[in-house]
Amino acid sequence: MKKIGFLTSGGDCQGLNATMRGVAKHLFEHYGSDLKVYGFKDGYKGLINNEYDVLTSRDFSGILNLGGTILGTSRVPFKELKNEEGMPRVKKMKETYNLLGLDCLVVLGGNGTHKTANLLSEEGLNVVTLPKTIDNDIWGTDMTFGFHSALGVATDVIDRLHSTATSHSRIFIAEIMGHKAGWLTLYAGVAGGVEVILLPEIPYNIDKVVEVLEARRRAQKKFSILAVAEGAISQEEAKMSKKEFRQARENMKYSNISYRIADEIAARSDLEVRVTIPGHVQRGGEPSAYDRVLSTRLGAKAAELIINKKYGYMVALKDNKIVPVPLDEVAGKLKTVPLDSEVITAAREIGISFGD
């Protein structure tokens, strides 16, 4: 009897169910009734507390287009595990794994999830992971599932803002998810035809931003739209130490960076600025057709690794091929937007400003 555990950890996103379905369907095709699947509830918490449901092939039917995760999810920060106080929880995870006699643990998640998965792999558990996040910031894969779906939502938000921005001759800021990496903001900004894109990777000068907006007004272009990553930072902030930056943000009177930028623009001009924050809407809803295909490909490959007893890998998309990447090469690394990105170059060439 082959025994496999599933868990989804961290923020939810589109494609989680589709990816689990891809893994499970391949495994059930191969093992048939000799397969037992455990779905741990609410991420690593379920593994810690030995809380799970036994899943049959029927549980993976009708979920290809279903958003969220049928298992539930939660966050168990890696920093709370990698110390003496956290090790008892790691011990409990191992105890659950061994108590159930699992042959492999399949983990779907983002950066923090992968660090914990690598820790469990180093502790001797058989682990295979899949790259989930709308931020597309996992090292070792060209694309994460969830990114394409969220991109569609973010682009739709910007498209809709064009209507009211044009009607009222206003400046609109659309704040897009992404604390440390600006992939989603970059792609949504280009796809949505914005005038300014502000990313964590490119610290902005607010005076440069205002110059762009004023130039458009002089050219009789009465509206402008800015795509701002939630992790956007100013050039002044970029010079701060981590401690100074953290304190500065804690003391910031604004709940979101976009509101600060809006006030900074208003203080330097007579432009009317409005802020829209779609927030978790970007992570919700059904996965796009692209993500359904990507999730299925990733899931089927993960099952192949399990069948061949190749553990300690993340399944990735590289050069449009699905390949295994050693988990210890992925964990702890962040994939940010390179400054020489062709997308950034193309954006600059058509006149989009990055505030620098």
| Cα distance between residue 175 and residue 177, in whole Å | 7
Please tell me what DSSP assigns to residue 280: G
| Cα distance between residue 146 and residue 295, in whole Å | 9
| Cα distance between residue 111 and residue 324, in whole Å | 17
Contacts of 146 by beta carbon, 8 Å cutoff, 6+ apart:
13, 14, 15, 16, 132, 133, 134, 283, 287, 291
How far, CA to CA in Å, does 117 sit from each of 14, 114, 164, 267, 269?
21, 5, 45, 47, 50
Handedness of CA 342, 343, 346, 351 (dihedral sign): negative
> Residue 35, Cβ neighbours under 10 Å: how many?
18
135 noted as active-site residue: yes
In a 3-state reduction of DSSP, which class is residue 166?
Answer: helix
Selected catalytic residue, list 42, 135, 137, 291: 135
Residues annotated as part of the active site: 135
